[in-house]
Chain A
């Protein structure tokens, strides 16, 4: 089975390891913000309306929209 899990599939509080990016343009920005392949990312909580979400990466909290988070694949 092909692993197609992204950050959006994580449950609140769950961590996973970043495996790659699905979007080239966004990946430039995400890398600079410390979302690095091989590093853990934790889904903290979603905003009250479900979007955006808050994740922890590289030791700090980052907010991402769902359509941005879905481009980060995890394993």
Chain B
């Protein structure tokens, strides 16, 4: 199958084009070795041929500044790469033509069949410009297609052009051989390359070229030294020459000069959005709106999902014959699946908001507003995006740090992002707040539970900022930090893209995180239902022996039996084993079980509670919340989930690193176990100490 790569600057409308070409036939994976989102999909050409579409990360140049931009270089500049495409579609923002064409001229010179797509022709027309695409096509020697990707116009023509694209005679726009003839000649001979520009790129960027062996790099270094190949000077000359060629193309094909375009709407909006007071006020208001909607809109479907699954369990345990298999289904699998599905509303809403902020161009303004503040604590304005995304999930958030060019700033961002309260903590917060914080109004309008929730989010945020400040002092670097960033014009969001992001992220969550949650639920059920020896089978007899002096009703006796069974199970033994460590925090061994499973993924807390409290609980099936509320502290006789224990647990969940997937992503992004290990230890210590202090102060 032929592979077609989509390449373009950020904000050029690449993702709209990708969505139009592939629709729901898309798949998000990882590029080999790095956790950069690799989006691929399929499309059918008019002649029935099926081609694979690869969406490459947005970049301004073939010279990468960050990990994700490097992907473009890896794939395009290396013909032996498995993902090296058969053709490239370079999409440019035609209303911002000049800078966008730079990347096109570089890719053109790599000698890959290319199509130039002039996107945003609607904006171009509005500003009174005209671009003669036919003339441009003659000048560049490649097909040039006008497009309005937002409206889906021009897609058919693109598909038609892809059907019969071929390579014209190689005529590079930048004549590399004119600048370093001997060096290029030698590289071409040594590495059997026929394109001048590919040889030139080997000399320019062999340091970062993953396809080269160490001895090949040494050879290239020797060739460069021998012929005085001065990289930076040549790169400067190259860029200037490319821009002068671009000016030449523009003069022939574009009427109207491109100096400073009137972009009135953006100018006016920027006056408000970057205003010294309104700018921050609007940013805070947007954040507040996001939290409110998650809390207000997501709880309704979440309660519904919770109830549906518990009723389904109750129904099935009544109609199916009582057996180990039935119990696995009603006590293990169904609560486990419920624990996955319950997250979908939150994840969908959060990612919808993040997609809207990115789509409209507002996210860059947030970076612009926050850069100076963030730099004070060793972060970068661009760290705001991962920190906000961290509210949804730390995994995509940590992957989003790859746009930060500076390694120290990126590392600090990766380190502190898991302190942001992710959506997996939200159900834990919700359920514990509902149990221990009274549902009362203060000042007549503000809900106390709402304040508690917001307080937990703020606590996580301030811990992230504080930890960043500490790391800034500890880490030393000489690398410079940049913020050379495009501020795109404001656009209304494309709802199709927002919808697709919601769908894709929810799907990825269900299938990726879901697998872990489900597996842990089943393992937990087994551990909670079976134990060493025959205590569980003989529970009736052994409990009868223990309580023979007490007068118990049948129901009280049955409860004792169930508690005894859980205590003697493997899960109970593990819980008991860590009880000495967690007793000072106000937890018992049952909560201990939840803590152990939560170290795999904290969202498991709720389903663990569901599993633990539903084992053998065939007297009355209720929701998780009501089962937890009726749990009694054996020592005090009061409710297990009282204020001190509740607050202590909440603090533990705010700070602790309880997510294997996050640790795995940090391992991949930092290329080693050092940082995940430090992060895990640091967060666990903070969680333990704050829970300890809170419990002792409150009780």
B487 contacts A61, CB within 8 Å?
A: yes
Does more than half of chain A's interface fall in helix, strand or loop, or is it mixed? Answer: mixed
> A49 to chain B: which residues have CB within 8 Å?
372-373
A59 contacts B258, CB within 8 Å?
A: yes
Interface residue range, chain A: 35 or more
Partner of A48, one of B65, B279, B486: B279
Which of A33, A34, A61, A68 gathers the greatest number of chain B CB atoms within 10 Å?
Answer: A61
B272-290 Cβ-contact flags toward A at 8 Å (1 or 0)? 0011110110000000000
Partner of A63, one of B235, B239, B263, B364: B364
Task: Give complex CA distance A36, B240 in Å.
Answer: 8
> B60 to chain A: which residues have CB within 8 Å?
32-33
Query: With A32-B60, A58-B258 as given contacts, are A47 and B274 in contact (CB-CB < 8 Å)?
Result: yes
Interface residue range, chain B: 35 or more
> A28 to chain B: which residues have CB within 8 Å?
63, 232, 235-236, 239
A40 contacts B259, CB within 8 Å?
A: yes
> B266 to chain A: which residues have CB within 8 Å?
61
> A59 to chain B: which residues have CB within 8 Å?
95-99, 258-261
Query: With A28-B235, A45-B274, A59-B96 as given contacts, are A52 and B371 in contact (CB-CB < 8 Å)?
Result: yes
> A58 to chain B: which residues have CB within 8 Å?
96, 98-99, 258
Task: Give complex CA distance A63, B57 in Å.
Answer: 21
Task: Give complex CA distance A9, B279 in Å.
Answer: 24
A24 contacts B486, CB within 8 Å?
A: no
Minimal Cβ-Cβ distance residue in B for A65: B483
> A36 to chain B: which residues have CB within 8 Å?
240, 243
Partner of A52, one of B98, B235, B236, B368: B368
Instruction: Say yes or no: is A70 at the interface (Cβ < 8 Å to chain B).
Output: no
Task: Give complex CA distance A52, B482 in Å.
Answer: 11
With A42-B260, A65-B483 known, 15 other A-B pairs at CB within 8 A are A28-B236, A33-B60, A37-B240, A47-B274, A47-B369, A49-B373, A52-B371, A56-B260, A58-B96, A61-B486, A61-B488, A62-B484, A63-B367, A63-B486, A65-B482
Residues of chain B at the chain A interface (Cβ within 8 Å) = 60-61, 63, 65, 95-99, 102, 232, 235-236, 239-240, 243, 258-261, 263, 266-267, 270-271, 274-277, 279-280, 364, 367-369, 371-373, 381, 480, 482-489
List 15 A-B pairs, Cβ < 8 Å.
A27-B236, A28-B239, A31-B239, A33-B99, A47-B274, A52-B371, A54-B270, A59-B259, A60-B486, A61-B486, A62-B486, A63-B483, A63-B487, A65-B371, A65-B482
